[in-house]
Amino acid sequence: MKELILLLLVGISFAVPACPYYPYKDYVAASQYQSPQKPADTFLQYCSWSLNPICILTNVFNTTEDKKTFIAESIANNSFDKILDWNQKLSFGKWFNTTKSSKNIKDAWVSLAYFSPSVYYNGTYLLNSTSKIFTKQNFTFVVDTRKLSGDCKDNFRICGYGYSITTSSNITATLNVKSEYLVDRYHLVTHCGMFGCWVTCDYYRTDSFKDSLSTSDSKKIKYENFSVGSNYSIAKYYNGLAEIFINVNNSNVHFQIGNSTFDKTSYLYRIRYELEPYNALVKELIPVNKTSEYGLSILERNNSTFRILAPYSANCSLTISEHFNSKTISGCNISNIGNSSFQKVEVKQPAIFDSLFYLATLGIAFYILYKIGKKVMPHA
């Protein structure tokens, strides 16, 4: 008899399905679940514990917006490293401005939080070949642990959840979440025998509660390849002055010759903050079109080509800067004319001056002859 009962119990144990494997087991009971609340602004949160000198200096400002502006503009907008350092210290929580929920997966979101390095311009993120993508995500696995209708007992077994993030070539991050839990259900069963009837709470069946959810985030990107399209050349040299052509190809350039400088600024940067209240930082491009010069003259501008006149110096260079790289071209040595493209031009007087000089010389000659004639023939 004992052997028969043991065999029946073993049979029942093998009939109860086991949980599939899931890497994460944490969950929140439905009775304890609360929607996440929007956290405090992380600009100020960051500075509440940081001894960064920038944070210390924010105390001179009275309003939150003034503090945020000061912090943003002080993160050295020419330094991608400092921007990345700031972004990596941000703590992204459960709250997000756009979330998606299902029965057991609540407040799911994914974000292409920031790229490093990157520059934002007019809805597009400019990247280079070294740029890395940083995604952030969150959600809550919620399990309703209340006893199911008709059951005398329920045994909840949390199988858990798993998720994956995929990034497509057009930069779309997709969060895929799958969750599952099992409920071993027990029903009241009446048993009758020779001496009467009795009721027991017996295993009835196991139900599987599966759920899945997908949500995504997309951003428009463009890869920028650095190419040195700007250049300069010396067209003429005379009387210590150099006539120089500078070609500017949609970049910022700084040309220096001796103590003279020429700058063409195509764009500036400012700090943009995104994903409030987490406030990830990114450099934002601001188009401008301005030139400045010191100690030289701009003789002519033809589209992106400038003709300048400057005191000659062998110490000259052109620095071309774009969003992620810069390059300097140097050298204005015109001593070796035969091996350079520089043209040394002798100063020549215009033809009209040659004619006037000829007439003046001729007039002086006639005048001298006239004086000599007067002496030889005083009564002529």
Between helix 64-73 and helix 42-49 the angle, nearest 10°, is: 70
d(C-alpha 374, C-alpha 380), whole Å: 7
* pLDDT at position 366: 55
**Enclosing domain of residue 144:** 15-39+93-223
In a domain, 206, yes or no: yes
* pLDDT at position 337: 32
d(C-alpha 58, C-alpha 80), whole Å: 22
199 and 247 fall within a common domain: no
Considering only residues 53 and 102, tell me which one the structure prediction assigns the higher pLDDT: 102
Letter string b/e over residues 51-70, b meaning 16 or more CB atoms within 10 A of that residue's CB: eeebbeebeeeeeeeebbbb
Considering only residues 371 and 178, tell me which one the structure prediction assigns the higher pLDDT: 178
DSSP E strands: which ranges in 52-171? 105-116, 119-121, 124-127, 132-143, 153-167
Considering only residues 77 and 40, tell me which one the structure prediction assigns the higher pLDDT: 40
Q: Name the 3-class secondary structure at 48.
A: helix
In a domain, 98, yes or no: yes
Domain count, the chain: 2
In a domain, 368, yes or no: no
* pLDDT at position 280: 92
10 forms beta bridges with none
Tens digit of each residue's pLDDT (9 = 90 or more) over 212-260: 999 999 999 999 887 777 889 888 888 889 999 999 887 899 999 999 9
In a domain, 306, yes or no: yes
157 and 276 fall within a common domain: no
Residue 334 has pLDDT above 70, yes or no: no
In a domain, 301, yes or no: yes
206 and 242 fall within a common domain: no
Considering only residues 55 and 378, tell me which one the structure prediction assigns the higher pLDDT: 55
114 and 253 fall within a common domain: no
Instruction: Classify residue 350 as exposed, middle or buried by CB count within 10 Å of its CB (0-12, 13-18, 19+).
Output: exposed
Report, as an integer, the average pLDDT of 366-374. 54
d(C-alpha 9, C-alpha 187), whole Å: 17
244 and 264 fall within a common domain: yes
Considering only residues 370 and 283, tell me which one the structure prediction assigns the higher pLDDT: 283
* pLDDT at position 73: 72
* pLDDT at position 30: 95
In a domain, 7, yes or no: no
In a domain, 123, yes or no: yes
Q: Name the pLDDT band for 86 (thresholds 50, 70, 90).
A: confident
Percentage of the chain modeled with pLDDT above 70: 79
* pLDDT at position 48: 61
Query: Please, what is the average pLDDT of the chain?
Result: 82
Q: What is the DSSP string of 336-371?
A: -GGGSS--B------HHHHHHHHHHHHHHHHHHHHH
Tens digit of each residue's pLDDT (9 = 90 or more) over 140-158: 999 999 999 999 999 999 9
Considering only residues 378 and 95, tell me which one the structure prediction assigns the higher pLDDT: 95
108 and 19 fall within a common domain: yes
104 and 205 fall within a common domain: yes
In a domain, 78, yes or no: no
Instruction: Classify residue 263 as exposed, middle or buried by CB count within 10 Å of its CB (0-12, 13-18, 19+).
Output: middle
219 and 246 fall within a common domain: no
Q: Please say which residue of 223, 255, 272 terminates a domain.
A: 223
19 and 98 fall within a common domain: yes
Residue 352 has pLDDT above 50, yes or no: no
Report, as an integer, the average pLDDT of 305-318. 93
134 and 28 fall within a common domain: yes
* pLDDT at position 225: 83
152 and 269 fall within a common domain: no
176 and 35 fall within a common domain: yes
Give Cβ neighbours of residue 28 (< 8 Å, ≥ 6 apart). Answer: 140, 141, 142, 143
For residue 77, give the nearest of 319, 323, 288 by alpha carbon. 323
